[in-house]
Amino acid sequence: MKYQVGEMGRIVVARFEDGDEIIQGLSDIAKKEDLRAAVFYLVGGIKEGRIVVGPEKDVFPPTPVWKVLNESHESAGVGTIFWYRNEPRIHFHGVYGKHDMVKTGCLRELARAFIVMEAVIIEIKGINAVRDLDPRSQMVLLKMIDS
């Protein structure tokens, strides 16, 4: 385990309107506000997206199992923002429910808000971390940088 201790910085509250692209919107905010490290919470509706619900088998590198959200779902979850090269990378895990059907997974790629999606983004100051390609998993993962 590796860790660093930081402090809370700025807090950004965002409202995604019906049809807004959520992942791209979070990335745009991170770029505009130069948020290099942050945690965020999402709550609201989502009407399309793709989630990873786990690896096919517990091996390296893992093969992701995808599920499609192709209709409205209630959603809530938590994510992080750290940069990979010159771009912010969003990592979000959430729950997605419709009637009595509930899914949980890592939201990736296209994700559009349904009616409204609220985001609360909390900047983390004093952390020296980025995302980098992990050779074992072949995934872009959090990397702590020694000071």
Instruction: Report the domain count for the chain.
Output: 1
Q: Which residues contact 129 (CB under 8 A, 6 or more apart)?
A: 4, 37, 82, 142, 143, 144, 145
For the stretch 20-48, pLDDT in tens is 999 999 999 999 999 999 999 999 999 99
The pTM of this model reads 0.95
Residue 1 domain-assigned?
A: no
For the stretch 53-102, pLDDT in tens is 999 999 999 999 999 999 999 999 999 999 999 999 999 999 999 999 99
| 13: CATH | 3.30.1330.80
Residue 146 pLDDT > 90, yes or no?
Answer: no
Range of the domain at 73: 7-144
Q: Which residues contact 101 (CB under 8 A, 6 or more apart)?
A: none
Residue 2 domain-assigned?
A: no
Band of residue 110 on the pLDDT scale cut at 50, 70, 90:
confident
Residue 106 domain-assigned?
A: yes
